[in-house]
């Protein structure tokens, strides 16, 4: 028996409604797994506590009055929802906020994707009257390299190998803890 099967059969075991074979399997599982015995004891205690709770008594027409109140509340909420005016599913406040956000998004989008459009007529006239700076008229000629790199005779890769010399470090080496 697996744990899930055991947990499903706890209530049937406590109510004594298991068949003889299932009851033996259940008790064998209890014997092999001491933790499962604790679970069964907890369930027994819970059932005992629930039985000891004082029963609540209600009036005879309690259910009828409760059902009437439920029906009235259902009808009231439907009327309330139907009475609300909405614009595309938004309340008027949220519709106006959404409209202003969409307009702001469109305005910012136009400014980002077409910055050549002037913001106002007064700004465009002042921009046209400005004279470009003098340094924009000067063109700097491109500098040509002094020598052709493909015609170089010495390669920089071999430079590291040529600089290394054999040095004698035999008299200068000291070992730690000598």
The answer to whether the pTM exceeds 0.85 is: no
Separation between Cα atoms, residue 50 and residue 131, nearest integer Å: 92
Q: Do the Cβ atoms of 14 and 43 come closer than 8 Å?
A: yes
Number of H helices, E strands in the chain: 7, 0
Give Dmax (Cα) for the chain.
112
Please report, in tens digits, the pLDDT of each residue of the chain (178 residues total). Answer: 788 888 888 988 988 899 999 999 999 999 998 888 899 999 999 989 998 988 888 888 999 999 999 988 888 765 555 556 888 888 889 999 999 999 999 999 988 887 666 555 555 555 556 666 665 556 555 555 555 666 666 666 655 555 566 777 777 777 777 5
Burial category of 26 from C-beta neighbours within 10 Å (exposed 0-12, middle 13-18, buried 19 and up): buried
Domain positions in the chain: 3-52, 59-120
């Amino acid at each position: 028996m697996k744990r899930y099967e055991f947990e499903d059969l706890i209530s049937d075991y406590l109510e004594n409604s298991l068949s003889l074979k299932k009851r033996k399997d259940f008790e064998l599982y209890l014997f092999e797994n001491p933790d499962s015995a604790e679970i069964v004891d907890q369930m027994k205690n819970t059932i005992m506590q629930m039985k000891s709770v004082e029963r609540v008594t209600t009036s005879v027409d309690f259910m009828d009055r409760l059902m009437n109140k439920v029906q009235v509340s259902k009808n009231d909420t439907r009327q309330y929802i139907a009475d609300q005016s909405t614009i595309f599913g938004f309340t008027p406040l949220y519709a106006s906020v959404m409209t202003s956000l969409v307009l702001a998004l469109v305005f910012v989008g136009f400014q980002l994707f077409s910055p050549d459009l002037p913001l106002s007529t007064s700004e465009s006239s002042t921009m046209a009257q400005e004279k470009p700076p003098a340094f924009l008229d000067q063109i700097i000629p491109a500098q040509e390299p002094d020598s052709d790199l493909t015609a170089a005779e010495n390669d920089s890769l071999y430079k590291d190998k040529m600089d290394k010399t054999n040095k004698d470090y035999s008299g200068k080496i000291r070992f730690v803890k000598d």
